[in-house]
Structure 1
Amino acid sequence: MIKPAYPVRTERLLLRPFTPADHAALHSWQSRPDVVRYLYGEPKTPEETAESLAMKAAVTWPSKEGEHLSLAVEREGEVIGEAVLKWLNEQHRQGEIGYILHPDHHGHGYATEASRAMLDLGFDHLDLHRIVASCDASNEASWRVMERLGMRREAHFRHGEVFKGSWGEEFVYAILEDEWRATR
């Protein structure tokens, strides 16, 4: 497991650890009802965002199972979102990715681009074998990102839990290391 050199550069983006200076940017999407619609929790207060930011900034690389790496996604010097890599299981080399972009930056392929970088980090630096991603089944934009990444839908959980007052549905996607390498 080799910690990458930051920032991680893609064609149009920089991915780097969060810093205290990112509070306003992070709060700009964590406080929005339309962003948290498909996420656990409700819009955050500035104080809750500060707590969230402290947790994100504390992990600059996962050093043990269960840790989450959240990287700020920058475009032309502006933080426009975050990309996440979770180390789910060390023995079985399992991980999970996720992404959140400010709505002003939806529809430009940034989530796909940032997620490709997170898959590279998971497979090349964390030595994962399998990476999953999940989303609310009605969040078509999110599951389309997973499909563009070459991930396959492995599950559709119908009424798996009560989510924000009604039965929720979830899609789970996955990709194996050798499948990922074959697409590069």
Structure 2
Amino acid sequence: MNTAPTTYAIRVDGHLNDHWSAWLGELDLTRDDDGTTTLTVSVADQAQLHGVLAGLRDIGAVLTELRTTGTPAPICPSVLERPLQTERLTLRPATAADADPTWAFRQLESINEWLTGCPANLEGYRELFSKPARLATTVIVTLGHDPEAPTIGDFMLRREDAWAQLDVADQARDTQAELGWVLDPAFTGHGYATEAVRELLRYCFEDLGVRRVTANCFLGNDTSWRLMERVGMRREVHAVRESLHRSGRWLDTVGYAILEQEWSPA
């Protein structure tokens, strides 16, 4: 008896080039507005599905979601397992209700200049912000410890596999994390971003047990890379005219990292 094929939606971090569609077996490929790529594949059995997933791992793609089409998107657990508190801040997992307060500063040109992008209206932003994979990697930063305290920023914390050769890939799973941050410009100049990043580094190394944390930005975003250096990260990459900015200019980007043995509590 022939088994009807099952169609899966596979979401991975980053925008894959079209040529990977043919390499992976002529999969339908959609680049999403949130910086991810969704691939659609119909398979007759699990062996075929595992072959596609192995191919994605071979090209270094990081899987964020796997589901059969026609089913609701799964609830992705937040990488931040519990709220964290510093002397002046609370860091907590994001919810869909955080879309409106974060839109208030993300739509500002001074902020959006350095972001991958921001939808043109609040409705579109709410839809993007509320995607399970987006919520799972978003950390909301509020001023103070009161539940009604104002939101002053949203940070990104993504746990991921390190690159590894296939025969040792299991040992590289979930061994590193990537950080990103957006702070409301009304609250800059007080050290809040530094305080929040230091706490997330502590969480990554002490609670998640990762061995390496990375971050990157445009070279022109000196506020961001100076923060990376302030918390002890070192510049590993300076890519010259590597990224196309919406202004039409090709801009330099820089990448920073810190290892667990290089980190020390503030």
Shorter-chain TM range is 0.7 to 0.9
Structure 1-normalised TM-score?
0.85
Report the CA distance between 1:55 and its aligned residue: 2.7
- Aligned-partner Cα distance in 1 for 2:177–2:99: 27
Is contact 2:215–2:255 with CA below 8 Å preserved after alignment?
Answer: yes
Aligned equivalents of 1:15 and 1:88: distance in 2? 20
| 1:176 is aligned to 2:256 | no
**5+ residue gaps, structure 1:** 61-68
Matched, 1:75 2:157: no
Give the aligned residue type for 2:237: A
Q: Distance in 2 between matches of 1:101 and 1:4?
A: 18
Q: Describe how 1:1-184 pairs up with structure 2 within 5 A.
A: 6-42=82-118, 44-55=120-131, 59-60=135-136, 69-76=137-144, 77-89=149-161, 91=172, 93-164=175-246, 165-181=248-264, 183-184=265-266
Pick closer, same or farther for the CA change 1:85–1:47 going to 2, 3 Å: same
Contact in 2 for aligned 1:19/1:57 (Cα 8 Å): no
1:109-150, Cα deviation, whole Å (9 max, x unpaired): 111111111112211222211111111101111111101100
Name the SS of the counterpart of 2:254 in structure 1.
strand
Q: Are the counterparts in 2 of residues 30 and 43 from structure 1 also a CA contact under 8 Å?
A: no
User: Quick check: 2:118–2:125 contact (8 Å CA) kept in 1?
Assistant: no
Deviations 1:132-172 (Å, cap 9, x if unpaired)? Answer: 11111011111111011000111111111222211111111
Percent identity between matched residues is: 36
Whole-angstrom CA distance in 2 between matches of 1:38 and 1:18: 21
May I ask how many residue pairs the two structures share in their alignment?
173
With a CA cutoff of 8 Å and minimum separation of 6, indicate the structure with the bigger relative contact order.
1
Q: Is the 8 A contact 1:20 1:57 kept in 2?
A: no
Which structure would you say has the larger Rg? 2
159-168 or 144-153: bigger deviation: 159-168
Classify the secondary structure of the residue corresponding to 1:39. coil
Instruction: Name the TM-score, length of structure 2 as normaliser.
Output: 0.60
